[in-house]
Amino acid sequence: MQQMNDGMKYKIDEALKLLCTAPADRQALFDRADKIRKEHMGDEVYLRGIIEFSNVCSNKCAYCGIRAQNTKVNRYHMEADEILAVAKQMAGWQQGTIVLQSGEANSPEENKRIGEIVKRIKKETNLAVTLSVGNRSKDVYKYWHDCGADRYLLRFETSDPKLFAEMHPDCTLDERLACLDALRETGYQVGGGFMIGVPGETKEILAKNILLCREYDFDMIGIGPFIPHPDTPFGNKTNAYKDDTDMFFVAVAVLRIFNPDAHIPATTAFDAVFPGHEGRNLVLQRGANIFMPNNTPQKYRGDYLLYPDKPCVDEDTGQCAICIAGRISLLGRKIGEGAGHSKKRLGD
Ligand code: SAH
């Protein structure tokens, strides 16, 4: 990673100070983040409908429920027609973007299959396409971009090289960051982000995570609490903020303060920690402006459990779409029309 300059050091100290806001003063921090969100991103909440189209994975990420070694998981992959059938309904649900997410099955056949799916979606719908399928070579990223993919989500998970190594036997932090560089050079709108409270994370690391997002000038930044999955090596570890879960919201608020023009989603993991949809509703009032309804057909949802207590596992495609419309209007916000591209690169 780059040598930190003095300016960056100063900003990290600033971020750290905000992260250490006393509980009694946190509401003021949340209000500040909400105000910045409103001024920079408006009241529109853009919907990015996610399809978890395959859980086939060859990686051994120590925290992830669909890691290759978890033999309890039934592996599936959705066929192109099945994905297209969902994609074609999305405009009717006011979703301008489709997010295709999967485990990492990095083979020439799978890479081609993904490219063909992207081409069909671009031809048969007006959706913006976001891919979230992990580390690949620059050539593969370029091929998918040529097929029509607009955006790519790849979290760096933590900015700390040592922690990153404990979490990822398959790659280094530098390799992950090189992927993010390659995506930017290829012309994607790039989404990064991290998990909050990975075991061993300090508030200094959290501050650096936030500043790394700024340094990379990400178009979208997804962050969510680390949740231990019992069938993984991190299964018996605990979240670093287990006894102060409001820190998850503090992290989002500080992220917004340091990244005023980025799209920030209210990620699903917040609903797993604060059930009854409370988590994601609160994040939308503390810095976030994007919601990602789950469009995965119900029959697959139980096999895409990156972490336990994932919400809406018993619901089917389309139900999240109906539920979210109510949630957003209750918050006094409105659903954004169109694709909701990056404000930084393409205007909106
Ligand atoms: N294979 C793709 C998609 C990963 S799943 C990739 O690696 O980019 C999307 C995100 O889920 C990951 O980036 C990670 O931050 C999050 N995730 C995985 N396991 C998790 C857990 N146990 N708790 C919280 N978030 C988790």
Q: Measure the CA–CA gap between 328 and 291, rounded to whole angstroms.
A: 9
Instruction: State whether residue 194 is helix, strand or coil.
Output: strand
What is the Å distance from ligand 1's center to 62 Cα? 11
Please report the atom of ligand 1 found closest to the CA of residue 306. 19
- Among 195, 196, 201, 226, residue to substitute to test ligand 1 (most atoms within 8 Å of Cβ): 195
Instruction: State whether residue 290 is helix, strand or coil.
Output: strand
The pLDDT score that the predictor gives to residue 51 is: 98
* Helix, strand, coil tally for the chain in percent (to 5): 40, 15, 45
Q: Measure the CA–CA gap between 41 and 287, rounded to whole angstroms.
A: 10
Band (336; pLDDT cuts 50, 70, 90): very high
Kindly tell me if the per-residue pLDDT of 69 is higher than 50: yes
Instruction: State whether residue 300 is helix, strand or coil.
Output: helix
What is the Å distance from ligand 1's center to 158 Cα? 12
Q: Measure the CA–CA gap between 331 and 229, rounded to whole angstroms.
A: 31
- Among 64, 156, 179, residue to substitute to test ligand 1 (most atoms within 8 Å of Cβ): 64
Q: Measure the CA–CA gap between 259 and 102, rounded to whole angstroms.
A: 27
Q: Measure the CA–CA gap between 67 and 105, rounded to whole angstroms.
A: 11
The pLDDT score that the predictor gives to residue 4 is: 61
Q: Is the shortest distance between the CB of 306 and ligand 1 below 6 Å?
A: yes
Q: What is the pLDDT of residues 304-319, one digit of tens each?
A: 999 998 888 888 877 8
Least confident range from 109-123, 189-203, 305-319: namely 305-319
What is the DSSP annotation of 147-183?
A: HT--EEE---B-S-HHHHHHH-TT--HHHHHHHHHHH
Q: Measure the CA–CA gap between 169 and 330, rounded to whole angstroms.
A: 44
Q: What is the pLDDT of residues 208-249, one digit of tens each?
A: 999 999 999 999 999 999 999 999 999 999 999 999 999 999
| Reported pTM | 0.96
The pLDDT score that the predictor gives to residue 346 is: 60
Q: Measure the CA–CA gap between 282 and 330, rounded to whole angstroms.
A: 12
Residue with tokens 């607009």: 150
- For residues 18-32, give the mean pLDDT: 98
